[in-house]
A and B are shown apart, each in its own frame.
Chain A
């Protein structure tokens, strides 16, 4: 008995001492609890005569919908269409946000002139631009990419500017002293110095873009995850609807995890992870 307790204690303490394993186990436990609650809610919907018609929202019907959706290629096609819009929108946001953020962080007068205007624009809800986007862009795709870009440009821009404001000015002096050209200053000093902040901004931008994407796809387009959810709702395919919601969550989680890996890979700051 004593030996058994000691053995179990040893295993537990080794487990607790391994942070990555511990984090993974807690994550799995959290997801398991969520799945259990979902499962219980599904049983309740099934058992109650007034909610029985919504039983397809439950965990089991949802999981059963996946082979059907994958088999028909619906999830792949929807994810590809949404991924394209998300990728293009984020790319535009990065291409605009990073250079302007660097200007804001490096050129004091530009920061002073632009800050109020950018803060004002940032506070406009991205979806409020939708009517304007529909008028300006010839295609729905263009409108959605614009909405994603305008939603995600601000976190990238302000994180980049904040990162640059924290950069040790002596690094610029050292680099000049060693003969760095302005381009080398940008690529060898500024970009590595602010990589953590830029990726953190992109992570925030991804979250915002992912939130904007789905409602934006409710309108006009005939592809993408948002459209597929709307289609499932209209055809009362509730298990398809929840399967698509689950897909959105999983893809979002995977994309966020990829950016966290990039943050850890390119961050030189100690102890942030």
Chain B
């Protein structure tokens, strides 16, 4: 697969629902170098999922810009694809058809689609299920199909919106390791939104904490650990404790210049 990462630059990003409603987040600045796995953690409602949807081009920002290698994001693109909390597979399709659906949208020729789909299915280790209907798969397998469906697009940036939160602990752990390993092997960027601190430590090169109302980035921490990462590794435990401490401090954070348009 010919995947490469991208330099992400978010400047002054603000989002509000409607012209006079509450500001979700205000003037967010964030950069991520090529190939980085960045985790955004924060409590529910701090705007992290909205931020990710804007980066995916699925929502419009009220102000500010997002640039990938200097090019502004104007809408959805196969170069930046998103994995959602649930796999949202098309149940009338087989595993192979689901994985290749994005390529068919792009009108790729059949031989290219076949070879890239086969490769993506191998990456997520679902070769034996290629012709199965996705309704016959377990939750973890379905999320692997969703991952393959994203990877087959050869994205520069993979956006993960709490993608494993609905899975059991064993499957979640396995997928966290697999996604990070694939990202590092292929070189694409990850932005992971999660409220699971363990997930951030296992998957990310850097974690930022989003808090406040309106939300903003209030802390950041480098997760400088070798791969593969093991939850029982004391260095993982130390970083986890540090991140939890930062997270708890940030929970009471209120940015001084935070404004609300609601009277």
Contact = CB atoms under 8 A, between A and B. Distances in A.
A179 B76 contact: yes
A179 B149 CA distance: 12
B17 interface: no
A256 to B, nearest CB: 23
Contacts of A270: 135
A264 to B, nearest CB: 13
A149 B88 CA distance: 37
Interface in A166-184: 168, 170-171, 173-181, 184
Interface stretch (B2-10, B24-32, B99-107): B99-107
Interface stretch (B79-87, B167-175, B209-217): B79-87
Contacts of A192: 90, 92
Given A178-B78, A270-B135, A171 B58 contact: no
A14 interface: no
Provide the main secondary structure of the chain B interface. Answer: loop
A188 B105 CA distance: 9
Interface in B83-140: 84, 86, 88, 90-92, 101-102, 104-106, 133, 135
Provide the main secondary structure of the chain A interface. Answer: helix
Q: By CB atoms of chain A within 10 A, which of B58, B92, B133 has the most?
A: B92
A184 B106 CA distance: 10
A174 B135 contact: no
B76 to A, nearest CB: 5
Nearest to B56: A177
Interface in A149-171: 168, 170-171
Interface residues of A, number: 22
Contacts of B82: 177
B106 A179 contact: yes
A173 B76 CA distance: 10
A127 B260 CA distance: 61
B84 A189 contact: no
B53 to A, nearest CB: 9
Given A177-B81, A192-B92, A268-B92, A184 B58 contact: no
Given A192-B92, A193-B92, A174 B106 contact: no
Contacts of B135: 268, 270
B153 interface: yes
B206 to A, nearest CB: 24
Contacts of A180: 105
A180 B149 CA distance: 14
A63 B169 CA distance: 69
A175 to B, nearest CB: 7
Given A179-B77, A192-B90, 17 more contacts: A170-B86, A171-B90, A173-B58, A173-B84, A174-B88, A176-B58, A176-B76, A177-B58, A177-B81, A178-B101, A178-B153, A179-B102, A180-B105, A189-B90, A268-B91, A268-B92, A268-B135
30 contacts: A170-B84, A170-B88, A171-B88, A171-B90, A173-B58, A173-B84, A173-B88, A175-B101, A176-B76, A177-B58, A177-B76, A177-B81, A177-B82, A178-B101, A178-B102, A178-B105, A179-B78, A179-B102, A179-B105, A180-B105, A184-B104, A184-B105, A188-B101, A192-B90, A193-B90, A193-B92, A266-B92, A268-B91, A268-B133, A268-B135
Interface of B: 56, 58, 76-78, 81-82, 84, 86, 88, 90-92, 101-102, 104-106, 133, 135, 149, 153
Q: Which 8 A-B pairs have the closest CB atoms?
A: A178-B102, A268-B92, A170-B88, A192-B92, A180-B105, A268-B91, A179-B105, A174-B88
